């Protein structure tokens, strides 16, 4: 059999992330993961010292992928329009379209998933979770600052709150979408945020 570098390790991460997002971390047994991957329990523990290590690796991979996606969307948006406001509005539109095209909707966010199970993780993972949200916050806040420098806000809103609002809406909309079985809620809520941004800044 082919011995590609870390073949099974990635398989474990793929299977585990799907299962954890669906059922939660504690409800995902190592047993079922190794059965689906086609590996033995020893094989699993060769790659990960314990379940917490799995959670950590999963999280790092997830955050890296999200960051890359955001970078890419940002780049494309500001290629289309350099203006801070219009570029950001296009950015949000692209994000909504991308999510709208996912056949089964966004699978769920590990940040939220871990958040409601935080007590079973160690401090390191909790700090990673916090750092991930703060990095989004910083990213969105930078956009808003650049916008506000050109378009003075028409409403008296705190830009930090407004930056948090996008994270808030994404996380919340994933929950509502999942609970209702209506994937479109997420893209639609992002467009609502977009309306809000427009109504705050557009003259």
Report the partner that residue 175 touches, choosing among a second copy, DNA, none (CB closer than 5 to 8 A by kind). a second copy
Q: Interface with DNA includes 7 (CB under 7 A)? A: yes
Among 34-42, 72-80, 89-97, 158-166, the segment contacting DNA (CB under 7 A): 34-42
65: partner contacted, choices a second copy, DNA, none (Cβ within 5-8 A by kind): none
Piece of 22-30, 75-83, 86-94, 133-141 that binds DNA (CB under 7 A):
22-30
Dist CA 111 CA 118 (whole Å): 10
Residue in 197, 202, 196, 199 with CA at minimum distance from that of residue 151 = 202
- Closer residue to a second copy, CB minimum distance, 122 or 199: 199
Position 22 contacts DNA (CB under 7 A) = no
Beta carbons within 10 angstroms of residue 51's beta carbon = 19
Instruction: Among 22, 23, 38, 154, indicate the residue that binds DNA (CB under 7 A).
Output: 38
- C-alpha 11/C-alpha 154 separation (Å) is 50
């Amino acid at each position: 059999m082919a011995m590609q570098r870390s073949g099974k390790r990635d398989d474990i991460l793929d299977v585990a992330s799907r299962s954890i997002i669906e059922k939660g971390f504690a409800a995902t047994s190592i047993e079922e993961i190794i059965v689906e991957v086609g590996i033995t329990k020893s094989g699993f523990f060769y790659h990960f010292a314990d379940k917490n290590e799995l959670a950590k690796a999963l999280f790092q991979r997830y955050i890296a992928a999200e960051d890359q996606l955001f970078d890419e969307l940002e780049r494309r948006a500001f290629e289309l329009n350099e203006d801070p406001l219009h570029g950001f509005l296009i950015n949000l539109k692209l994000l909504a379209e991308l999510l709208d095209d996912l056949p089964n909707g966004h699978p769920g966010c590990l940040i939220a998933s871990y958040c409601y199970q935080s007590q079973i993780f160690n401090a390191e993972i909790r700090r990673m979770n916090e750092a991930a949200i703060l990095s989004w916050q910083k990213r969105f806040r930078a956009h808003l600052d650049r916008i506000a420098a050109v378009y003075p806000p028409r409403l008296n809103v705190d830009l930090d709150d407004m930056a948090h609002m996008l994270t808030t809406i994404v996380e919340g909309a994933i929950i509502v979408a999942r609970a209702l079985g209506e994937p479109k809620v997420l893209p639609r809520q992002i467009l609502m945020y977009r309306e809000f941004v427009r109504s705050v800044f557009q003259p």
